[in-house]
Chain A
Amino acid sequence: MPTSMTENTLLTQAKDAARLAQKLGADDARVGVSRSRGVEVEWRDGRLERVQERTRRGLSVELFVDGRYAAMSTNDLRPSAVEAFLTEAVAMTRVLEPDEHRRLPDPARYAGRAAVDLDLADASQAAVTSEQRRASAEQLEALLRARSANAPIVSVTSAVEDDSGESARVHTNGFEGVRQGTHFSRSVQVTLIDQDGRRPMGWAYTVRRHQAELEAAETIVDRARDMALRQLGAGKLATGKYTLVVDRQSVPRLLGAFLGPLSGAALQQKRSLWDGKLGERIASPLLTIVDEPHKIRGLGSALWDGDGFATHRRAIIEAGVLKTYLIDDYYARKMGVEPTGGSTHNFEWALGTRDADGLVADVGEGVYIDRFLGGNSNGTTGEISMGCAGRVIRGGRLCEPVAEVNLAGHFGEIWQALVAVGNDPDPNSSAAAPTCVFEGIQLSGV
């Protein structure tokens, strides 16, 4: 990866802060320095709603002092302020109780960083003008209205945003890393008015590392419009067990509940129902999730993880079998095991052969879940309960909309009940979830 002048500056700043921390009494330190700039233009109902510019910077330092540990962050980077801040932090650290597990990682784990250009930064970002953002936002609204001729629209808001960021990281036992990245996003939301006065909203977005890869405005506009239209005239659903076709944008909610308890913190703190399940089948054989940190232009791509470990492609779930926990360096020491890396990046699924329409046709009878609303899950025991809305599937087609529905059960059992996976991974998310079908799931309604 080419190294820019600013990256060098950030790296120098990080090294300076690490040296200063050591001079002030720290045995070791991990330092991160970052800087980013972003602009967002929001457009609503024919006029500009908000222009917002964000220029951030920050310094974060983890200190290892006499077998003790503390961390701090500041955006007040005046040299005198940084020194006063680190002095206070070192003094504070000395007072804490010791923690033998807090040490810098074994430098051997920094080695083997992939020699690949992830291409996370799009140089064209610097040339984007306010007029271009404004014009794109205006166009999104106009397009949505033009493509929703008979929809009872109350309001349309669109937003165009881009940012670029750089960061550097230094550990006093040899780790150094710098990275740059950009993001571009377009989003639109539309509110309709229903006959009973309800105002259902549909939304859609596209987000990419490179501007040229953004989805076409037509695609996101239609997605938002369809989501809103699907809710008009929503009724209630009879309580019962159903086959569910879950929209790919909503699948990450179910997946997050399922994967959360794989963390070292959850395992070591006895808050994980997956404790003791390594190598066992914890989901349907249709579920395979591989973490790919080196996806070119990937939203979640990284050459090193939160501990500075070189990242590698690895399976988390393979044909339903739990292949690895997600244990970072600190909790690995506490547990007396080898760390497996606590971060995930970009997911790849074992895909099926059908898209959402095809899966709906295959299912015949059931409920299509468009979105989840609120709810929570219990990673210690597996209970999950969350609101949802969507459409009844009858005769292999989407029929009447339903709202005020709730899904409940055990998230382990729900993933065991996965019976089909779509061929349509979501390109706007690092989870890259396809449409998923689950059988025999409890829904509450009336």
Chain B
Amino acid sequence: MSMLAEGLAYFGRFGVDETLLQAALERALARGGDYAELYFEHRVAHEVGLEDGAVNRAFLHVSLGVGVRVLKGDQTGYAYTEELTRDRVCEAAATAAVVADGPASPAPRAFEVRGRPDRYPVKLDFEGVDIARKMPILSEVNALAFARDASVSKVTVGYADSDGAMLVVDSTGHVAFDRQPMARLTVGCVAERAGRRESNHHNLAGREGFEFFTPERIRKVACDAVDRTVFCFDATTAPAGEMPVVLAAGSAGILLHEAIGHGMEADFNRKGVSVYSDKLGKRIAGDEITIVDDGTQPHARGAINVDDEGVEGQRTVLVENGVLRSYMHDRISAKHYGVEPTGNGRRQSFRDPPLPRMRSTYMMPGSVPPEDIVKSVKRGVFAETFTNGQVMIGAGDFTFYIKTGYLIEDGRLTRPIKDTNIIGNGPQCLERTDLVGTDFKIDEGGWTCGKDGQSVPVSIGMPTVRVSAITVGGVN
């Protein structure tokens, strides 16, 4: 079945047909827009929760609508409707059309359908899985967590699944349809020892069907949550000041996401407000550093078959052997820079216009054995797990929060540390990333990136690396 047929078969039950597409695009272009696009979305999400030993809460969310975008140069008109009737969709199109002010542009006469990759085939559709089959997963996580350590006193478990369907139809006649599943398992843990309490969270996520919830993942998320909580009893805040920091392979990719990723989203560069605005083609890091933003990893949380403008998700090399090669583009910025879009045009929902956004962002492995990287540090911090980060695009200052790690003294991991923020400057931090490990890991955590009030799922990955000097926000 072609993507148009597939898309219309899906959205047909809400009254969407080819004449509605035609009429809405005509209306959208009625004032001379250069480009118009309809983004239909239907999303059904389930959550189930366990607290105090009982699986006793469930949540069901349904979201349906169409967003209409009209572009005139790099100017955007945007409106949406949650009623998919011909009148309402045409009204939204007329609202978005006001960004232009001239004679009508031609609407497409026929729709062209291209193939799409299948990076997250689903074996067990969530729609066919009764809540009674989901509940034992939460009970199992709870039992495993309490069995893991006698100090555990509270456990919460969250199960979440989501099935999103989207159909993009644009004024060039291009059509894309995709089904985007997401599975996630979250554990919160509190432990008590000698009158002290510590807490932590852990979660795993991926674009898979119900088959995501394997016994291995259930065990891993429960045990890791407990281990990371109990770890905190022996940990204290890190020391304060500038020092070398070794980032463990995996979720340390949050550093790339903040230090370089956002600054290389092309909208910020098109506007001249990114610290990387004049760095294309220039050396910004050492020879050994190659950074990729990738939508093609099978079942990764940040994987996309097509982006939310209908462009195929792809692997984009941002930094190659230290040289800045490409920004991440949506259609607007690609046109501005005269390049092909890179498949980074993403949005939270039909209520939002797409923006250049990351997918799965990671650094390629290097040549140094990870144990040698730790050995190379006289006094510093080994950062192992993380919760969140943020960046100021223009100044380049960024932060990320270390939940757990170790002090490094004379090349060895010594005192456990926790709850310490790190602050640095993106370009400077890349220059100071001087050792890159041979190991490499994509983190399976449920990372979510926020920009302009819109959240999208992303993945991050990293080999072990050393940053020779960065400010550690601890206490002396």
State the A residues within 8 Å of B (CB): 44-45, 47-57, 68-77, 81, 85, 88-89, 92-93, 95-99, 102, 130, 154-155, 157, 191, 197-201, 231, 234, 236, 239, 269-271, 334, 373-378, 380-381, 383-387, 389, 403-409, 442-446
- Shortest B235–chain A CB gap in Å is 10
Chain B residues, CB < 8 A from A44: 271
What is the chain B residue whose CB lies nearest that of A234? B395
Q: Is B392 an interface residue (CB 8 A)?
A: yes
Q: Is B348 an interface residue (CB 8 A)?
A: no
Q: Report Cα–Cα, A73/B46, bound state, in Å.
A: 11
Which of B214-222, B372-380, B397-405, B433-441 is the interface stretch? B397-405
Chain B residues, CB < 8 A from A445: 241-242, 471
Is the Cβ of B392 less than 8 Å from the Cβ of A375? no
Q: Is B76 an interface residue (CB 8 A)?
A: yes
Is the Cβ of B421 less than 8 Å from the Cβ of A375? yes
Is the Cβ of A270 less than 8 Å from the Cβ of B61? no
What are some 29 contacts across the A-B interface (CB < 8 A)? Answer: A49-B75, A50-B77, A51-B76, A52-B79, A53-B79, A55-B79, A70-B59, A92-B58, A95-B131, A96-B56, A96-B57, A199-B274, A201-B273, A373-B398, A374-B391, A374-B423, A375-B401, A378-B199, A380-B198, A385-B473, A385-B474, A386-B473, A387-B390, A404-B471, A406-B422, A406-B423, A408-B240, A442-B475, A444-B241
Is the Cβ of B273 less than 8 Å from the Cβ of A155? yes
- Shortest A66–chain B CB gap in Å is 12
Is the Cβ of A404 less than 8 Å from the Cβ of B241? no
Q: Is B334 an interface residue (CB 8 A)?
A: no
- Of B80, B192, B474, which is within 8 A of A270 by CB? B192
Is the Cβ of A198 less than 8 Å from the Cβ of B394? yes
Chain A residues, CB < 8 A from B273: 154-155, 191, 199, 201
Q: Report Cα–Cα, A377/B387, bound state, in Å.
A: 10
Is the Cβ of A385 less than 8 Å from the Cβ of B131? no
Q: Is B176 an interface residue (CB 8 A)?
A: no
Is the Cβ of A380 less than 8 Å from the Cβ of B199? yes
- Shortest A147–chain B CB gap in Å is 20
Is the Cβ of B199 less than 8 Å from the Cβ of A201? no
Q: Report Cα–Cα, A282/B323, bound state, in Å.
A: 52
Chain B residues, CB < 8 A from A77: 82
Is the Cβ of A54 less than 8 Å from the Cβ of B63? no
Q: Report Cα–Cα, A385/B424, bound state, in Å.
A: 14
State the B residues within 8 Å of A (CB): 48, 51-52, 54-65, 74-82, 92, 95-96, 98-99, 130-132, 135, 153-154, 156, 188, 190, 192, 197-199, 232, 237, 240-242, 258, 271-275, 277-278, 351, 353, 387-401, 418-425, 471-476
Q: Report Cα–Cα, A387/B232, bound state, in Å.
A: 22
- The SS class assigned to the B binding surface is strand
Given known A-B contacts A49-B75, A95-B131, A270-B192, A446 and B394 have beta carbons under 8 A apart: no
What is the chain A residue whose CB lies nearest that of B469? A446
What is the chain B residue whose CB lies nearest that of A239? B241
Chain A residues, CB < 8 A from B135: 95-97
Chain B residues, CB < 8 A from A95: 130-132, 135
Is the Cβ of B95 less than 8 Å from the Cβ of A53? yes
Is the Cβ of B475 less than 8 Å from the Cβ of A375? no
Q: Report Cα–Cα, A199/B273, bound state, in Å.
A: 6
Is the Cβ of B421 less than 8 Å from the Cβ of A374? yes
Chain A residues, CB < 8 A from B98: 51, 130
Is the Cβ of A385 less than 8 Å from the Cβ of B401? yes
- Shortest A119–chain B CB gap in Å is 27
Is the Cβ of B401 less than 8 Å from the Cβ of A51? no
Is the Cβ of A446 less than 8 Å from the Cβ of B242? yes
Is the Cβ of B392 less than 8 Å from the Cβ of A373? yes
Given known A-B contacts A76-B64, A199-B394, A444 and B472 have beta carbons under 8 A apart: yes
- Shortest B172–chain A CB gap in Å is 21
Chain B residues, CB < 8 A from A199: 272-275, 277, 393-395
Chain B residues, CB < 8 A from A378: 199, 418-419
- Shortest A187–chain B CB gap in Å is 12
Is the Cβ of A231 less than 8 Å from the Cβ of B241? no
Chain B residues, CB < 8 A from A197: 275, 278
Q: Report Cα–Cα, A374/B420, bound state, in Å.
A: 11
Chain B residues, CB < 8 A from A49: 74-76
What is the chain B residue whose CB lies nearest that of A57? B82
Is the Cβ of A56 less than 8 Å from the Cβ of B82? yes
Is the Cβ of A374 less than 8 Å from the Cβ of B400? yes
What is the chain A residue whose CB lies nearest that of B46? A92
What is the chain A residue whose CB lies nearest that of B386? A376
Given known A-B contacts A92-B131, A199-B273, A270-B153, A70 and B397 have beta carbons under 8 A apart: no
Is the Cβ of A154 less than 8 Å from the Cβ of B392? no
Known: A99-B57, A239-B242, A271-B197. 12 other contacts (CB 8 A): A53-B78, A53-B96, A92-B60, A96-B57, A102-B56, A191-B273, A231-B395, A269-B156, A385-B401, A385-B421, A408-B240, A408-B474
Q: Which 4 A-B pairs have the closest CB atoms?
A: A406-B473, A374-B399, A374-B390, A199-B394
Q: Report Cα–Cα, A432/B48, bound state, in Å.
A: 37
Chain B residues, CB < 8 A from A269: 51, 154, 156, 188, 190
Chain A residues, CB < 8 A from B55: 96-97
Is the Cβ of A381 less than 8 Å from the Cβ of B393? no
Chain B residues, CB < 8 A from A374: 258, 388-391, 398-401, 421, 423
Chain A residues, CB < 8 A from B399: 373-375, 386-387, 406
Given known A-B contacts A92-B58, A375-B421, A52 and B353 have beta carbons under 8 A apart: yes
- Of A71, A155, A231, A239, which is within 8 A of B240 by CB? A239
Is the Cβ of B240 less than 8 Å from the Cβ of A404? no
What is the chain B residue whose CB lies nearest that of A273? B197
Is the Cβ of B75 less than 8 Å from the Cβ of A198? no
Is the Cβ of A403 less than 8 Å from the Cβ of B397? yes
Is the Cβ of B58 less than 8 Å from the Cβ of A96? yes
Chain A residues, CB < 8 A from B242: 239, 444-446
What is the chain A residue whose CB lies nearest that of B77? A51
- Shortest A182–chain B CB gap in Å is 19
- Shortest B55–chain A CB gap in Å is 5
- Shortest A322–chain B CB gap in Å is 18
- Shortest B370–chain A CB gap in Å is 26
Is the Cβ of A99 less than 8 Å from the Cβ of B56? yes
- Shortest B165–chain A CB gap in Å is 13
Given known A-B contacts A271-B199, A444-B474, A74 and B76 have beta carbons under 8 A apart: no
